[in-house]
Each structure stands twice: as C-alpha cells, then as structure tokens.
Amino acid sequence: MNISFVLNGKPTSVDVEPSMLLCDLLREKLSLTGTHVGCDTSQCGACVVHVGDCSVKSCTLLAVAVDGARVTTVEGIGKPDALHPMQLAFHENHGLQCGFCTPGMLMSSVEFAKRHPNPTEADVRHWLEGNLCRCTGYQNIVNSVLRGTAAMHAEQGA
C-alpha cells in the first residue's frame, strides 16, 4: 500500500506492507533509527513518536494508520548543534545514561510540556509511567522534564 505523510516536516510517500508497524517503517525503511524498540509489547516506551500532536507508541501502530498525518521522531525535534530545550534539559540534568530510553522519554516529555505549563513532580511521574528507564534512575529524568518544560514555556513567552 502507498501512504503519504509528513515526516519531520518533509512530505514522504512510501510503499508499505499492510502488516508493517510504524516503528519498523521508521527504522528499517526510512533509516530513522533514533526510534527504539525495547520490548515490542507497548510497555517500555522507547518507541514513542508524535502523530500530530500526540505521543504514541510506534510499536503498536500500523504504518498505514499515519497516512495523511504529521509524524515527528526524535530526529525531528532538534539537531546536535541546535538541541530542543527538552534535549538540552536532559543533557544538563543528567537525564540519560545509556540513552536507549531517551528518544521515547523526550517525545513523551515534549507533549507533556505542551499540556502542562506549570507541572508538579507528581504530574511528570504520572505522565511518564509508560516510559521505562533501567539505568539513570527516574529522579534525574523527572528533574530534566521539569526544567525542560519551564525552558519551553520561557522560550515561547520570550
């Protein structure tokens, strides 16, 4: 099946098998390996991307479902020399170690920040319950999301 969608701001048209998952389309066909697959069972959250403005687990979505949609992956929110405020906050607050969960953490957190201008720590922990990390410990991730959220809103207000 042929599907067309906007991927990280770029119109994209691609042939996919009806059974192909969005994470496999991104990783295998479009070589965007920033989106990770940690569990394949929708538990770990390493595969989170944005479809429209919503963060979704791309291991649980068929690729054909994004026909006509806007899809954003971790590669689309910032570049190494121009980090997104949330990426910068993770860097400055030691919000990552091995980095495997980080793309999903970032994509979940960016949607969180847009929805929660003044979040509490409990808000962050509740939102991130679908994202697992096995090495950093969640405290620095929560700190990063709080700082990143503040930075995103400060940037918008400026």
What track of x and - describes contact with another protein for positions 93 through 132 (by CB under 8 A)?
Answer: -x-x-xxxxxx--x-------------------------x
Q: Which stretch binds another protein (CB under 8 A): 63-71, 84-92, 113-121, 146-154?
A: 84-92
Q: Is 78 in the site for another protein (CB under 8 A)?
A: yes
Q: Is 133 in the site for another protein (CB under 8 A)?
A: yes
Helix orientation angle between 138-157 and 102-115, rounded to the nearest 10 degrees: 50
Which residue is listed with tokens 């720590």?
Answer: 121
Inter-residue contact 96 to 115 (CB < 8 Å)? no
- Number of shown-chain residues binding another protein (CB under 8 A): 35
Which residues are at the interface with another protein (CB under 8 A)? 27, 32-39, 44, 46, 73-75, 78-80, 83, 87, 90-92, 94, 96, 98-103, 106, 132-135
